[in-house]
Amino acid sequence: MYEVLVSSTLLCNAETWTLREKQKQRLGVFEMACLRKIEGVKRRDRIRIEEIFKRLNIRCGVIDRLRNKRLRYFGHMNRMKDERYPKIA
């Protein structure tokens, strides 16, 4: 449910974003808030991020998915012909 609704909406066109460390941190905080809400866990419960990922069967966080999307887009851009508008831009 998280992958389909939250993650796909959050990372729409993310391969073109330029992020600073503060923005990456905020994305991570938002992701953990969503995952805690789904799992029904509060911050006071002091459950580690890895444990929540394991419970929900999530392999990588939002920053790793963003990095993967960027690398995939970079591959598309490298294979693209030089006359195409995205490559020119």
How would you write the pLDDT of the chain (89 residues) with one tens digit per residue? Answer: 788 888 889 889 888 888 899 999 999 999 999 999 999 999 899 899 999 999 999 988 999 999 999 999 999 888 988 888 878 87
**pTM for the predicted model, two decimal places:** 0.79
Segments making up each domain of the chain, as ranges: 2-9+19-88
Cβ atoms of 80 and 86 closer than 8 Å: yes
Kindly compute the dihedral angle of the four CA atoms of residues 48, 52, 53, 54, in this order, to the nearest 10 degrees.
100
Residue in the block written with tokens 């990372």: 11
- Could you give the CA distance from residue 86 to residue 71 in angstroms, rounded to a whole number? 16
Amino acid 51: pLDDT: 94
Amino acid 30: pLDDT: 95
Looking at residue 70, its amino acid is R
| Of 89, 75, 70, nearest in space to 14 by CA | 70
DSSP letter assigned to residue 7: I
